[in-house]
Every structure is written in structure tokens, then in C-alpha cells.
Amino acid sequence: MEMGSFPFFYVAAITFLTALLLRSFLTKKRRRLPPGPALAVPFLGHLPFLKKPLHATLARLAARHGPVFSLRLGSRPAAVVTSAELARECFSSDLDATLANRPHFPSVREVSFDYTVLTLANYGAHWRAARRVAVVHLLSARRVDLMSDAVVARELRALVRRLARLTAGGATARVELKRRLFDLSHSVLMEALARSRNTYSDDGADMSQEAREMKDVVDAIVPLVGVANLWDYLPVLRWFDWRGVARQLADTTSRRNAFIYKLIDRERQKQQAAADKQEEEEQGMIGVMLSLQKSEPDLYTDTFIAALVANLLGVGTETTSTTTEWAMGLLLNHPAVLKKAQEEIDAHLSGEPSRLLDKKDLPHLPYLHCIISETLRLCPAAPLLLPHEAAADCQLHGYDVAAGTIVLVNAYAIHRDPAEWGPAPEEFRPERFEHGGAEGKLMMSFGMGRRKCPGESLAMRTMGMVLGTLIQCFDWARVGDEEVDMAASSGIVMFKAVALEALCTPRAGMETLLQKL
């Protein structure tokens, strides 16, 4: 290149860069972005101003900025939806497919098998294959019926039997419900996944050895992902991992994966040893997927199976047990509601006082269903659902949403919107669901649209049977005079900030039934 060509090169480069900057500026000027907080910190955006719990902070911001508003989360743009009308627009129209992706945060890459678990996979062929397996083979109506009859009922009887031993002779026992409910949910899923029965160190144990192992893994992963969240919005911080979060996540994920692959290997050995081919309904979910692997090995790899198992264990166990814990806390703070639910069960079972309720009874217990619905309204397990991401530029409520924007739907706020739910939406009133009173109102505890949770039927059946049986067999009371603390933690799953403890006493007239278990 001749010396004289350098000035031309510089002029051309500067002209090109100026044109790019001008185009970017004009594009931004032409875009009609949702309103949002004006004050932001360079590089950090609005992150320093978002207090915990996040769903409550976003609800307060919606009161100021409207039903959809913008945030800057470090390097990531976000749009927050906080009205039923806009939620329907997002997931009940053509926009649903555009918003069906998930943001891929660095902190969950290893935990999610490189973003291949069902809940975090992007919308596409892999996600469709995983969801088809979940819906058709694992969580079909027929399989949910079988699980309710064989698995949920059996594990529930075991829980009641352990509580009966603690309260033998009419004694009152102080019980931590969180761990026992987690153990029950875990037991149901383990039996469904691998036909694996939990073992207990003693009859008074509040958790099985297997459930304790998985709970330790879950409890270790959740706070590490929370600590690492700054990576997700400020990638440069990955180079300054002074707290060793990456190493801890890798170690904990390795423990979880070893547990899951052990289940897969054990199920494969059982299949190889079986003389006769088992029907699909007789197999655990892992067995079903290993059978599918024989016909399509490239699709149903061990990693595919492990990712689906990890998803079901992690999400299914925590959400079901947490919602039941919230329901018990609400009932303890509203003893009149608890009494009314017990009276409904007693009246329905008046001709059969010596048996536990089962799945066939649930359609005849409308008030119990109202309690569960009201709990899901006030305490959705995922208060912001799972984050969505725009796959392409689109419009929402007349505003421009750029590709790559994180879309958060605040189910917690929508469920408490007086415009949707009338006066006193923050009060626990199961009666609002009676006689079709909530018909047409938006409930999105299990999500909406393409990414709606496929386990809703199993979760609702399990919660109905568990909650109904606990209040059928025992009287429950607060540990002290003060109301149960209903403060919530901050995170993808809305846990109770304080684990629920309650006083448990056998109900009058239940002695014969409890002794038979």
C-alpha cells in the first residue's frame, strides 16, 4: 500500500464508523421503547436499585411506570409485564412463538446440561422432542392416574404413618413441614422415574437418605446461582470469581449428575436382566426413555435422559412441596378456613370414616380445590414465571421490543391486581373461587402458552391429595400465639423465608384409621 493511500483509508474508516453510530442513534430514536426508571448506573443499569424480593420490587415499579416497562440489567435489556391484558397478549397470540426462547445465563450452563433441560432449552427441535417425551410418555393423563393410585397414595400413607407414630396416644408433636413435604414430593418422583423406594434411617426420620442427598444438592445449587447472577448481566465479572462460585457450582453439579447417571445405569441393568419386555405403563420414566433410546439412539442419548430427569427432580419436587407449605401456612393463619375444609372432607367421607381420601374424592371436594387455587394465586411458586427472551424484534402493547430482550412476566403482581381480582386482592379468601367466581380471571401459576408447565395435572392432583389427607387426619395449630411468618424469599422459586413448623395432633375419631396404617 502506498503512503498516499493512508489518509483515504482513515477517512473511509471514520466515515463508516460514523455512519454506523448515526444509524444506531437514529434507530434508537425511531424505536418506541416501554417507559422505565430514568436513573441508571453506567454498566450496571438498574441492578443496584432492584431490592429483594424482586417480584415485589417490580410490582412497585409497575405502579409508577405502567403495565409494561423497561429495565437495563447490566448489559441486558429487559421488559417487565405486569397486567393480565398484556400477559394474554404475550402468550395467547402470534407473539407467543417469538417470546418462547429462554435467556441463557452463564451461571446455569453446567447446571442445565448446556441449556438442554426442558425448562431452559430454546424453542426449537430439541425442546419439542423433550416436551413430547414429557407430555406423551411421562406425564400423560393415564400415567398421572396410575401414579396417583400407586405412588402418591402409597407415599402419602407412609408420611401419615410416620406422623401418627410421632403423635401416638393423642400426643402433640412439633413438626417441620418443609422437609417432610419435600421428602414426599421427592419420593413420588423417584418412584415415578426409577421405581425406586426411599429408605429411612429410622421411623422418626423427617427425610429419607435419598431425599436428603438431593435436597443438599438443590440447597447448594440455588444460592450459588443467585451469587453468580452478576455474571449473567456483567460477563466481565467471570474473570474475577473471587468467591470460587464456578468451582462450587461444578462440584455440586457433578454430585447431582453422578446421582442421576447412577439411576440411569441401574435402570438399564434392570432392563437387560428382565426376561420379558415390560409394558410402558409398568416402567419408570427412565425405563420408558431407555426403551425409546433403542429405536432412536441419536436423539434419546444418556445426556438427553439425564437432563430431563434433573429437570423433573429439581423443578417438580421444589414447586409442589413449596406450594403445599404455603397452603399449610395460610390455613394456620386462617383456622376458620381449615375447619371448613375439614368439615367438607368429613361430610364427604361420612359413610366411610375408616379410609384415607384418594384421587376419586377430589372432584367432590370443591372447597379444598378453592384453597389450593387461592394459594397458587397468592403464592405462585415461580412469581416471575421463568424468564422469556425475544427471538426477533417485535411489538408489545404498541412498544418496540428488540431481539434478545429478556421478558419477565410478574405473575405475583398480576394475581394481586385489584383490576382483575376486585377489592382486597392480597387477602386469603378461598371463597372467591367458589361457584365459578374466578371464571375468566387470569391464573398463570404454571405459566402460559407454549412454555406452560406440562406437569400441572400431576402437581394439582398431588397437592390435593396431600393437603386433603393432612387435614383429614390431624389437627394443626401454630407453634406460638403469633401468626405464621409469610415472608417470601427472592429467587426463581418463591420459598417461605422461614421454614414452616406446626403443632400436629391426631383428630378425634381418627385413632382407628391411624392405627391401621
Q: Which residues are annotated as a binding site?
A: 453
**365 vs 254: CA distance, rounded Å:** 44
Closest CA to 289 of 147, 130, 141: 130
**215 vs 202: CA distance, rounded Å:** 18
Q: Which amino acid is at 151?
A: V
Binding residue ranges for heme: 453
Asked if 469 contacts 160 with a C-beta cutoff of 8 angstroms, the reply is: yes
Asked if 238 contacts 196 with a C-beta cutoff of 8 angstroms, the reply is: no
**28 vs 77: CA distance, rounded Å:** 13
**313 vs 308: CA distance, rounded Å:** 9
Ramachandran angles phi, psi of 455, nearest 5°: -95, 15
Sign of CA dihedral 111, 498, 316, 157: positive
Cα 451 to chain centroid distance, Å, stands at: 12
Asked if 418 contacts 426 with a C-beta cutoff of 8 angstroms, the reply is: no
Beta strands in 284-323 (DSSP E): none
- Strand (E) or helix (H) holding 501: strand 501-506
Closest CA to 183 of 202, 165, 200: 200
**214 vs 218: CA distance, rounded Å:** 6
Helix (H, G, I), strand (E, B) or coil at 443: coil
Cα 470 to chain centroid distance, Å, stands at: 23
**260 vs 217: CA distance, rounded Å:** 12
Buried b (16+ CB within 10 A) or exposed e, 219-248: ebbbebbbebbbbbbbeeeeeeeeeebbeb
Q: What residues contact residue 422 under an 8 Å CB cut-off, 6+ apart?
A: 432
For 53, the grid coordinates are 424480593
Q: Which amino acid is at 514?
A: L
**34 vs 259: CA distance, rounded Å:** 45
Sort 355 into a burial class: Cβ within 10 Å, 0-12 / 13-18 / 19+.
Answer: exposed
Asked if 390 contacts 101 with a C-beta cutoff of 8 angstroms, the reply is: yes
